[in-house]
Amino acid sequence: MNIIVCIKQVPETTEVRINPETNTLIREGVKSIINPFDMYAIEEAIRLKERFGGKITIVTMGPPQAEAALREAISMGADEGYLVGDRAFAGSDTWATSYTLAGAIKKIGVYDLIICGKQASDGDTAQVGPGISTHLNIPQVTYVKKVEEATDKSMRVERMLEEGYEIIETPLPALLTVVKEINEPRIPSLKGLMRAKSAKIIVWGQKDLNLDPQQIGLCGSPTQVVKIFTPTQRAGGQILKGEPAEIAKELVSLIKDEVN
């Protein structure tokens, strides 16, 4: 089974800061990690490879330093990594990002399954995975919590719902987005770390992928982030105690004072 896993390098969430003058994220000096949900995607790909054989290809879109994320994935058990990096991709929204990643997947060629984390911690849109499947015109199943069965032509999975789950069978090739309930990511072995250190990372730009310039980067993004800001901190609330009738009377008085 040939599996492609799409990952993203994101800022360590506990260290994110906002520039008060430009209202943009301060990325300089901020530690970057593999998006947490993507770690589950990598682990599930490895488990499927252990069951059915095949190859795992990791793809990420980002600046040169995103190569570190690819090497970490290889250290866990992936076979190869592709960095989709070009200044022309800067400013891409979820639509342009999914279009670009789909272009890279088309260039890679043969695959049976694409796995993504359900969403990225820095955007929380959960749109890139479904967007990739749309551009590739293949089936998708989101919020997958378990892979029950798989053959060379189909796969049956459990899809998490707010209350319970549903069983879905999909033909292959297909795209899955996975949730944290699906597995527990492994720690890389020493052998894996050594292999990742010497692995060759392939870098592709816009010309390599033959993408439409009007559909990438800011130009190809229907949505754009205009401003990022820290919400104003709210004052602590007030707890009213006593009998219901007394609380209601005091609440009405407080509301009147606030209106006046």
State residue 236's pLDDT score: 75
SS (H, E, C) 181-217: HHCCCCCCCHHHHHHHHHCCEEEECHHHHCCCHHHCC
The mean pLDDT of 156-162, rounded to a whole number, is 95
The mean pLDDT of 111-122, rounded to a whole number, is 94
* DSSP three-state, residue 80: strand
User: What's the predicted TM-score (pTM) here?
Assistant: 0.84
State residue 26's pLDDT score: 65
* DSSP three-state, residue 59: strand
Distance of alpha carbon 146 from alpha carbon 133, whole angstroms? 20
Q: Which helix (H) or strand (E) holds 175?
A: strand 174-178
State residue 13's pLDDT score: 64
Q: Domains in the chain, ordered, with CATH?
A: 2-215 (3.40.50.620)
**Residue 234 confidence class, pLDDT cut points 50, 70, 90:** confident
Q: Each residue of 194-230: pLDDT tens digit?
A: 999 999 999 999 999 999 999 999 889 998 777 776 6
Q: Which residue has the tokens 């719902």?
A: 161
Distance of alpha carbon 35 from alpha carbon 177, whole angstroms? 13
Q: What is the DSSP-derived secondary structure letter of residue 242?
A: S
Please list, in sequence order, all residues whose beta carbon lies within 8 angstroms of the beta carbon of residue 247, skipping any fewer than 6 positions away.
240, 241
Distance of alpha carbon 247 from alpha carbon 143, whole angstroms? 44
* DSSP three-state, residue 258: helix
Closest CA to 6 of 54, 53, 45: 45
Q: Each residue of 62-115: pLDDT tens digit?
A: 999 999 999 999 999 999 999 999 999 988 899 999 999 999 999 999 999 999
Distance of alpha carbon 165 from alpha carbon 204, whole angstroms? 39
Q: Which amino acid is at 83?
A: L
